[in-house]
Structure 1
Amino acid sequence: MKIMFRKVTLLPVIVAVVFVFPGAGTAQEVSVDDTLHLTLDKALEIALSENPLIKVADKEIEKVDYSRKEAWAGLIPSISAEGSYSRNVKKPVLFLSEDMAGGLGGGSSTIEIGSDNSYSAAISAAMPLFNMSLFKSIQMTDVEMKSALESARQSRINMINEVKKAYYNCLLANDSYNVMFRSLQNARENYENIRRMFDQGAAAEYDVIRSEVQVRNLEPSLTEAKNGRKVSALMLKILLGIDSDIPLGFDENLEAFKELIEGMPSAPDQDLSNNSDIRQLDIQKLQLDKQFELTRAQRFPTLSAFINYQFQTQANHFRFDDYQWATPIVAGLQLQIPIFSGFSKRYQEKQVEVSMEQLKYQRENVERQVSVSVLNAYSSMEAAAQKIESARVAVRQAGRGYEISQARYQTGAGTLLELNDAEVALTQARLNLNQARFDFLTARAEYEKTLGTNLPEFAELPGSSEETGME
């Protein structure tokens, strides 16, 4: 007997996590002796708190926040201090005219100035009063924060999608294992019944041999299904960031998502405003707008205030108590007006304008691709929903057919071949139903990911809507 059993396949993101974050298996502290019982919501909550990719995205928000604070610090007065000591190994001289030299009673035309030792110290403070470039730079960091928040949101959306698929893989593997286990039990019961009938002379030896072969053929399929459960569980553990030795228990099966399947939307959603790729492009448009304003702000004059407080003295000895210190104070305003820079600023503005046009075309293309992805995911959901209805009827009919074939064989009206065919049909119908449910749930996860609507409340970033300016 050949049972069509689909193997669980590894998701590409899992391999990436294994190589990039080899220590991801130690994040969740759960005793190996304890079973970690999971629901879909609990699995998502663990992944969003323990997965290294999510932590990297959150750290990026923290880094951009410090960058924003650094930009604001440009408005705060800056204070600096400096000091110096110099030794005049050979003092500078002042050249005198012959008349001045004669008036001083000497024939020399030079005179040494200064002292052997020279000391100076200064405290300076400066503060911008008007700097349009600085103001625009601060606004630019606000947009960078929006971009970081949206990147973190996108990481969560992608992680939720991967966790859902991995979780559904586990449920499919478990349900498929249960189907194969029931099929093997049925084959063993048939074998025992036929052997008793043979002992009583009511069945042929061929039927005993054939029923035993049926059991032997099913045992490898059950082993394969068991290995599929292990592989799918390992995939999920990596995404959750838990140790591979922790046993998992699932409090749900594919049938538990009956309401989600029956609640399929009547038509594909056309609102793409929450799609993360489109939102990122909109934020890039804001960045280009601010970059253009920043470039244009370089045409404005800048005005700053400063004050300088100095300590100065000179002496030919080191008797510090006898020093006389001079303390000049200088304060003022500094104005800089750009006049001409060789048209460089104009060319910079043109570059930004071209980038805006490129982004416009790119957004149109991405929007079309996202629309197609939504339609494809919805079509997959529709096809899977139809398969589910057909598979349900097939399971019900195959179950009834198996009961009839059992009764016919026990009364001598049916053959072993008929009984085996009925059992194979029932097993295949159950596997097809599980696969159809799995196909629908994975298509639904992809549909929600594309629309950007699959974020549960505990996955929302605090203040993300206010920061990004997007609802």
Structure 2
Amino acid sequence: MFKKKIYLAVLLVLSFLKIEAFAQEAPPLEVLQLNLKETLEFALENNPDSKNAKLEVMVSQTTIKEETAAGLPQINGNVGINYNPLVQVVFLPNEPPFGDPSIPSDVIPARFGVSYSGNAGVTLSQMIFDGSFFVGLRAAKTYKALTEYDKIKVENDVIENVKKAYYGVLVNAERIKLSQSNLSRIDSLLEETKAMNEAGFTEKIEVSRIQVQRNNTFSQLKQSMTAYDISKQLLKIQLGLPKNYDVVITETLAELNPEEDLAALQAMEVEHRVEMDQLNTNMELTQLDLRYNTSQYMPTLDFNASYTRSGAGDSFNTLFQSRNWFSSSMLGVTMNIPIFDGLSKSARIQRNRLQLQQLENQRFYLDQNIALEVYQAKQNLANDLEVLAVQKESMELAKEVYDISKIKYNEGVGSNLEVVEADAALIESEINYLGALYDGLISKVDLEKALGILKDGLGQ
């Protein structure tokens, strides 16, 4: 038993030393001080989704080069050496004029070939006419345009998520300030009540009542601090920040929401949505696919050329003698005429036409859906602003009620219960106000998204 206690003690000491060493080796946090505009610009450069969208645009550029290469000359070289351990034997009839009377057999074995042979050559092919080439090249360029719109869509999603996370950090920071202020206020009231209880002017139950309220306020402070840490971690993830970085926001909520900007936002109408560009580009790609499949009925014409040097020898040394090598060349034109493919092209063309009808239906639905999104976002923002104004008024009234209750209690004409209830009402009104403020900020982002103006002001 004694040895076991010693073993546990050693483990505790080693664990403490490891923790201390880790703390000493951990790199210090690098702090980024950012406002909203800087935060969004940083996210567009470092968010993984944004990075991948930019890489996809670069991939589409290589697709254009690949399609262009199909119309350029194709040149290939070849070099080969062959060794025949057993040369092929061909049997000839043993008859005049090639017969040999000295051979009793009715056939004569003849070896056709040598032990070693080699060749070296170059081939060239050039497309003269292929109706699908220019369609494919146009499709590759259209695909690049689609990746550009996809990049804009991804960036809009990044901006939306970053803004919501950014506002979450600001609101939770404000909650911490209010909770600290509430805790300081209730602590002062608790100290005053304890002093009055010790002097015999109040009962112990009044101290206990305020202590309960103080514990509840302290719990709310801890919850606000936890929510703040979580919201900051979420913001760091959206920004694509490494773990050894921290973010400090240099703006306040009041600076981000001037009333004239909100009024102008509600008066705007949607002008452009990247989702419609994506859909239109997909329709263009489908139309090009239809043209490509239709062009497969047309013949193709190619020019071919080759130049070859061939040699042979019955031994490896004689293989490379120049007198044993001979040249050959070829020039030709090949026309490939499609005749019957089992109706596969016809099926692809029919599929393309059906896909175009689907995209037409999607475009109609998207147009209606965008209008509905704008309407809902405007209504939600208007309702949230009304609720925010009511909650702000309620918070001011609750503060006024608390101040009056506190004055009455200090002058001995009010009860301790009134002060505690007024304090609880004030805290509840503050929580409701911050909740309404956050809802209003989210509705503002949703309206900016519906109007297609999330990237306005970023210089993108």
TM range (shorter): 0.7 to 0.9
1:434 matched to 2:430? The reply is no
Q: 1:95: Cα distance to partner? A: 5.5
1:80 matched to 2:79? The reply is no
1:309 matched to 2:288? The reply is no
In 1: Cα distance, 2:407 partner to 2:301 partner:
99
C-alpha contact (below 8 Å) 1:101/1:109 kept by paired residues: no
In 2: Cα distance, 1:166 partner to 1:283 partner:
32
Q: 1:422: Cα distance to partner? A: 2.9
User: Secondary structure of the equivalent of 1:328?
Assistant: strand
Aligned to 2:46: 50
C-alpha contact (below 8 Å) 1:254/1:434 kept by paired residues: no
- Higher CA-based Rg: 2
C-alpha contact (below 8 Å) 1:143/1:283 kept by paired residues: yes
Q: 1:288: Cα distance to partner? A: 0.4
C-alpha contact (below 8 Å) 1:306/1:333 kept by paired residues: yes
Cα shift readout 1:115-164 (whole Å, capped 9, x = no counterpart)? 52433222111111221212211111112212222222222111111111
C-alpha contact (below 8 Å) 1:384/1:440 kept by paired residues: yes
C-alpha contact (below 8 Å) 2:165/2:235 kept by paired residues: yes
My pick for the range that moved more, 115-124 or 195-204, is 195-204
Aligned to 1:291: 289
1:172 matched to 2:171? The reply is yes
Q: 1:329 to 1:132 in 2, by over 3 A?
A: same
C-alpha contact (below 8 Å) 1:234/1:244 kept by paired residues: no
C-alpha contact (below 8 Å) 1:381/1:443 kept by paired residues: yes
Aligned to 1:39: 35
My pick for the range that moved more, 345-354 or 81-90, is 81-90
Aligned to 1:443: 443
My pick for the range that moved more, 413-422 or 303-312, is 413-422
Q: 1:439: Cα distance to partner? A: 0.6
C-alpha contact (below 8 Å) 2:149/2:274 kept by paired residues: no
Q: 1:213 to 1:49 in 2, by over 3 A?
A: same
Q: 1:177 to 1:78 in 2, by over 3 A?
A: same
Q: TM-score, normalised by structure 1?
A: 0.81
Q: TM-score, normalised by structure 2?
A: 0.82
1:217-236 alignment runs, 5 A limit = 217-236=216-235
Runs of 5+ consecutive residues of structure 2 not aligned to the other structure? 1-25
1:62-461 alignment runs, 5 A limit = 62-87=58-83, 89-90=86-87, 93=90, 100-101=97-98, 112=110, 115-116=113-114, 117-198=116-197, 203=202, 206-244=205-243, 246-259=245-258, 262-265=261-264, 267=266, 270-271=269-270, 273-276=272-275, 278-317=276-315, 318-319=317-318, 320-321=320-321, 323-456=323-456, 460=460
In 2: Cα distance, 1:185 partner to 1:335 partner:
91
C-alpha contact (below 8 Å) 1:254/1:438 kept by paired residues: no
Aligned-residue sequence identity (percent) comes to 22
In 2: Cα distance, 1:398 partner to 1:262 partner:
29
Cα shift readout 1:214-258 (whole Å, capped 9, x = no counterpart)? 323322222222222122222222222224464442222322222
C-alpha contact (below 8 Å) 1:261/1:385 kept by paired residues: no
C-alpha contact (below 8 Å) 1:32/1:247 kept by paired residues: no
Q: 1:95 to 1:174 in 2, by over 3 A?
A: same
| Aligned length, in residue pairs | 429
In 2: Cα distance, 1:341 partner to 1:405 partner:
92
Letter in 1 for 2:41: E
Q: 1:378 to 1:275 in 2, by over 3 A?
A: farther
Aligned to 1:26: none
Letter in 2 for 1:284: N
C-alpha contact (below 8 Å) 1:94/1:111 kept by paired residues: yes
User: Secondary structure of the equivalent of 1:327?
Assistant: strand
**Higher RCO by CA contacts (8 Å cutoff, separation 6 or greater):** 1
